[in-house]
Chains A and B, each alone.
Chain A
């Protein structure tokens, strides 16, 4: 019956198993529509979409980025189509939707510190970003890359603003293991490959912990970087109808609750209940997010980062 809807391609940077779970839930809700997940780091997707559009290749229907600046840039370049799902119009706070209806926050997460509880005792765990510079952490830290991950790009802007680039310069001397995706540091500490992560997606730490893996988040005394991941529909979406259907569904309380329960994400939807056993969002000191600054300074931030970390 709904087969005329066909398919929809979703570019996202959320952790792949969660993205596929969301896709399967959507397909179950609307039989006949198949959703194809195109997952990579937000910065990678941003580059890919740019490269594809330059060659007039329009593969992407719905886009979600962990770097909110991307939506600002795409809006500026008139690459987005206005569409306001019912839940967004009715329930979402103004800070989590674009006034022109181009995008809204599909997910919220943080980039905390975290550690492996088998390798580090709770009272010895770092309490702040400054603690990570202690010589005892040399060779024991893993962190992700702002050139790949939107979460890390967002976090790097906030940390460099509040702690100064000198903090990164010193951190780089701690023999940090450099991975790409913000989804990887939590996995690396769960494996026990490194004891501590300096950044990474909170939602993965929470999910791994819920699965019984030995990981524990630390919300630093300086505050924890806040990472909003908006979604929008591309103006040149090859499947505009299915795109709207998926985007609208993804913002419903039902879908947002799935993000929280199965994925450990936070939600801007007021009807969504926070996950039990997880620190309440309102109890966490967060750093101020400035997507508009990231939109203008991303290249500078990357260049500065590469200067200290070499890759």
Chain B
């Protein structure tokens, strides 16, 4: 140890008495999380266990499990979730394999398009599929009848099967991304070894590739199950015309007049419990088998040659993508420019009236756009900052009880949007914090809903960053806050921007919590579209949905360009 090293540490000592505001800030974050999650869920439980006069009772749960009006939706919801997760597994895994491990043409395009289908809000997809496959007026069914002379519809979207199909369309991308990423990371050497030892392509797939991908696939299927379980928009649009409820639409219907918040709270509990159980299962599954890719350096995975099957495979991928993407957008564009959504745009039916109406006459458009944009920017900024702070605190164990912070940041994953909406409504329609009627309650809802994913994203970026850099700064006398500002934030910038985009997109498409929490002054785009849906104003819906997707795409592309621009200038290696 040289004399030179002691000089700075002397100056460190002289700086340490300076007050470090990090700790109170972090405790503030912890309190904020409690207000966002613990309070609403607390009220939810209190309401679920109360009668109309506020006396303790279990009657709500008795009703829930004995009244057919609740038991049926519960069964329906489970049927939907199981079917959707199976379909997603069956569609996403071959597609993910084709994209990641074969020489299928257009593999990159397919990846991009799957991501693009994630930008489409599921309820917009459901409305578009109504335009396509309503049994009589749906464009596909009209085409089918004209083609075959058949009397029966090809697809009846107003049915349990139709609903499952539409939910699967907008859920399979989650499974696809997980599976494709896992296959990307899978070491090619294992497969090479297998074939060198004489195993054929199929034996290798069966004994190496599939077992290695299985944990991710299971995790993906669970994600799909949870998505389907907690989705509100698509069932509200397709199940009610068909004459049945799911659990989420039932909860929502309990908010109609005369409102029954106690029953709504009780009905939210099964969703909550089921989600928690499934998340624990997922953690257990991944925890046990997720070691598959640990180890030294691996080569890039080997691409399997499809030979004559290359083009059929690409065609198959495009066919799958037609379901969430090509067909629905075709229907939305057609409706936007057509006098009647059930007729194809032609010289006779072409009109710009829907655009004139939406942007010139509809007095709710501009306030809704403004609210949505404000909330998306605020929630993305606040959410990304919060995720950074929490990830930092947890990774660096900055305050006692940091594990609780981590738990709280991931807990909302277990809270379905509509359940959180109900909880926030119960918690913030009363003094001391009457936030209902302001944008704040929506901001809290959106940040809470998006926090787990944001936190996980930032957290993984943190793990790639060695603490040495911060330690150096601290040793040189910087406060923790300054270290975070000067070292941590710049290094995490591209992860933070990605997270920001992720939250932004999530907020714009959020419906299930917003539909419980909005007032006429705080209406957002998704709620406006849902309102228009209920009165059948499909022309305006098409225009607004397309604008919504356009807005999202512009912001995401701009932010990514910004992030990439930065990443190119950023040091290639982070850490010591």
Contacts and interface: CB of A to CB of B under 8 A. Distances in A.
The answer to whether A and B belong to the same complex is yes
A299 interface: yes
Interface in A102-154: 147-148
A20 B136 contact: no
A38 B520 contact: yes
Contact of B534 (A52, A180, A213): A180
B257 A47 contact: yes
Given A177-B241, A184-B535, 20 more contacts: A11-B520, A15-B535, A16-B362, A20-B362, A24-B361, A35-B363, A38-B364, A43-B256, A47-B256, A51-B429, A55-B429, A176-B243, A178-B241, A183-B536, A184-B536, A187-B536, A188-B137, A193-B135, A193-B137, A310-B245
Contacts of A184: 534-536
12 contacts: A17-B361, A20-B361, A34-B363, A36-B363, A44-B256, A55-B434, A55-B436, A57-B519, A179-B536, A180-B535, A184-B536, A298-B257
Interface string B536-569: 1110100000000000000000000000000000
B243 A310 contact: yes
Contacts of A161: none
B192 to A, nearest CB: 57
Interface in A43-100: 43-44, 46-48, 50-52, 54-57, 59-60
A59 B342 contact: no
Contact of A37 (B242, B255, B342, B364): B364
A54 B428 CA distance: 12
* Residue from the set B340, B531, B535 with the largest chain A CB neighbour count within 10 Å: B535
A179 B521 CA distance: 26
Nearest to A212: B339
Contacts of A171: none
B25 interface: no
Interface of A: 9, 11, 15-17, 20-21, 23-24, 34-41, 43-44, 46-48, 50-52, 54-57, 59-60, 147-148, 176-181, 183-184, 187-188, 190-194, 213, 298-299, 306, 309-311
Given A20-B361, A20-B362, A56 B434 contact: yes
Given A43-B256, A55-B437, A193-B136, A16 B535 contact: yes
Contact of A40 (B135, B158, B437, B531): B531
B467 interface: no
Contacts of A48: 519-520
Nearest to B136: A193
A289 B243 CA distance: 28
A29 B340 CA distance: 32
B341 interface: yes
* Residue from the set A55, A181, A183, A299 with the largest chain B CB neighbour count within 10 Å: A55
Contacts of B72: 310
Contacts of B535: 15-16, 39-41, 180-181, 183-184
Contacts of A38: 364, 520
A192 B521 CA distance: 36
A311 B540 CA distance: 26
* Residue from the set B253, B256, B367, B436 with the largest chain A CB neighbour count within 10 Å: B256
A298 B258 CA distance: 9
B386 to A, nearest CB: 27
A43 B255 CA distance: 12
B342 A193 contact: yes
B8 interface: no
A194 B17 CA distance: 78
A46 B256 CA distance: 9
Contacts of B259: 47, 51
Given A23-B363, A179-B241, A192-B137, A52 B437 contact: yes
B35 interface: no
B350 interface: no
Contacts of B240: 178, 180, 311
A57 B437 contact: yes
B361 A191 contact: no
B257 A50 contact: yes
Nearest to B536: A184
A9 B134 contact: no
Nearest to B366: A36
Interface in B337-372: 340-342, 357, 361-364, 367
Contacts of A43: 256-257
Contacts of B56: none
B534 A311 contact: no
Nearest to A27: B363
B489 interface: no
A11 B72 CA distance: 35
B69 interface: yes
B341 A16 contact: no
B429 A54 contact: yes
B341 A191 contact: yes
A310 B73 CA distance: 10
Interface string B320-352: 000000000000000000001110000000000
Interface in B132-149: 134-137
Contacts of A183: 535-536
A148 B136 contact: no
A78 B545 CA distance: 40
Contacts of A50: 257
Contact of B521 (A34, A39, A59, A190): A59
B244 interface: yes
A41 B340 CA distance: 23
A35 B367 CA distance: 13
Interface in B80-124: none
A59 B436 CA distance: 13
A34 B69 CA distance: 44
Contacts of B363: 20, 23, 34-37
